[in-house]
Chain A
């Protein structure tokens, strides 16, 4: 076992163990008559039915796709629910702070709502289109 990394505490024990294992762990011989039984099993074995195999693979693929689709739908619902929650929280916050904000920015309520709509639309566009839109905006700015 020269090619195995060792850090033996006891080289003598290591060497003795190696020799003992060499003596005790013999490769098992094939059982008597193995080849004959194998030949008989091969004769009995049905040839692979390719059409059946294809049908099974297609069924497995359909099941996998259905599972993926189900996961996607569930995730979409969860994202939608999260968005609704966030919108409600923002709405509540806006209702509370909007008059104060309008006073500080010296804007009337109509201007503030218009500004909020623009910011919301940009945020939504970024969310939906992500990088392509950001890239287009950056190119437009440049």
Chain B
């Protein structure tokens, strides 16, 4: 990964209460705080990485169990959030690795599938248009799809996305820029008339 994701001191400050409890050897209340603060983020990260909500739930559960098992030995070499997200990403990558043994669609195959589905949806109802837009997002290459999803999941906070993915903020900005450019190109090339108008009618 490429660089620090957020000022470590700020991240440590935010989790000072958890670290204090751990220092006192009180792992259970510390883990309860971890759950309150990170459970949803862990799940969102899993959804963004794995696409499938059921697999994401399993991966999130595995990650949190692992975090529980290792929390007592957390040594503060990294920020707690960085440590949690690293464990989660590793679990997701293992799940992706396992999934590769089964038939899975490549980015290109997903894009072809979307192409086929969208041929005559220019005049679709707004609900269908929303589904179409989500299909377009799903057809983005992984490296652009993940930050884009997390960006909107996390209330458009680039620093949070950077922290979740373990990359620098500028990298996230670049990926987001490319994701949006690819979506725009796809919308323009999809024969939707005026794509801006088409999108506005989604509302």
**Residues of A bordering B, CB below 8 Å:** 1, 3-6, 8-10, 12-28, 30-31, 34-35, 37-38, 41-42, 45, 47-48
Contacts and interface: CB of A to CB of B under 8 A. Distances in A.
B187 A41 contact: no
B39 interface: yes
A21 B152 contact: yes
Contact of A30 (B43, B174, B195): B43
Given A20-B133, A20-B202, A23-B130, A10 B196 contact: yes
B86 interface: no
Contacts of B64: 38, 42
A28 B64 CA distance: 17
Interface stretch (B10-18, B65-73, B92-100, B101-109): B65-73
B184 interface: yes
B203 interface: yes
Given A17-B187, A35-B35, A25 B153 contact: yes
Interface residues of B, number: 44
Q: Is the interface of B mostly helix, strand, loop or mixed?
A: helix
A31 B65 contact: no
A24 B39 CA distance: 22
Contact of B195 (A5, A13, A24): A13
Interface of B: 35, 39-40, 43-44, 47, 53, 56-57, 60-61, 64-65, 68-70, 130, 133-134, 137, 148-149, 151-154, 156, 158, 173-174, 176-177, 180, 183-184, 187-188, 195-197, 199-200, 202-203
Among B47, B56, B61, B199, the one with the most A-chain Cβ atoms within 10 Å of its Cβ is: B199
Nearest to B131: A24
22 contacts: A1-B151, A4-B177, A5-B174, A6-B177, A8-B184, A13-B184, A13-B188, A13-B196, A14-B184, A15-B196, A16-B199, A17-B183, A22-B156, A23-B203, A25-B134, A25-B149, A25-B152, A25-B153, A34-B57, A38-B35, A42-B64, A48-B69
B202 to A, nearest CB: 5
Contacts of B130: 20, 23-24
A28 B70 contact: no
B187 A13 contact: yes
B199 A28 contact: no
B47 A28 contact: yes
Given A16-B200, A20-B133, A30 B39 contact: yes
A9 B35 CA distance: 43
Most chain B C-beta atoms within 10 Å of own C-beta, residue among A12, A23, A24: A24
A14 B202 contact: no
A42 B202 contact: no
